[in-house]
Amino acid sequence: MFRKLAYLAMTVLGLLAFQTPAFAQGKMKPFILASQGSGSITASIADVSTKLQNAGFEIAGTYSPYTGASVIIITNAALKAAAAKTEFGAYGVAQRVSITDVKGDIQVSYTNPTYMASAYRMDADLADVSAALSAALGNQGEFGPSDGLSDKELRDYHYAFLMEYFDDPDKLAKYPDYASAVAGVEAAIAKNTAGVSKVARIDVPGRDETYFAVGLSGDMANNNEKFRTDEFIMGEIDFKDMRATAHLPYEIVVSGNTVYALYARFRIAINFPDLSMMGDNSFMRIMASPEAIRKALTLAAGGEYKER
Compute and round to an integer the Cα radius of gyration of the chain. Answer: 20
In a domain, 8, yes or no: no
Of residues 169, 167, 190, 196, the one with CA closest to residue 259: 169
Residues 150-166 have pLDDT tens digits of: 999 999 999 999 999 99
The residues, any chain, with a CB within 8 Å of residue 5's CB and separated by 6 or more, are none
Is 134 strand, coil or helix? helix
pLDDT bin (cut points 50, 70, 90) of residue 25 is low
Q: Does 308 reside within a domain?
A: no
- Structural domain contains residue 230: yes
CATH number for the domain including 256? 3.30.310.70
Q: Tell how strand 196-203 and strand 69-75 pair up.
A: unpaired
Count the domains in the chain. Answer: 1
Domain that holds residue 265: 17-300
Q: Does 192 reside within a domain?
A: yes
Strand partners, 101: 106
**Tens digit of pLDDT for each residue in 221-279?**
998 899 999 999 999 999 999 999 999 999 999 999 999 999 999 999 999 999 999 99
Does the residue 9 lie in any domain?
no
Distance separating alpha carbons of residues 110 and 98, to the nearest angstrom: 6
Per-residue pLDDT at 21: 42
Q: 221 lies in a domain?
A: yes
Instruction: Let me know if residue 305 belongs to a domain.
Output: no
Mean pLDDT of the chain: 92
Q: Give the Cα separation of 76 and 51 in Å (integer).
A: 14
pLDDT at 65 over 50: yes
pLDDT tier at 19 (50, 70, 90 boundaries)? Answer: very low
Where helices occur in 238-288 by DSSP H, the ranges are 264-267
| pLDDT surpasses 50 at 13 | no
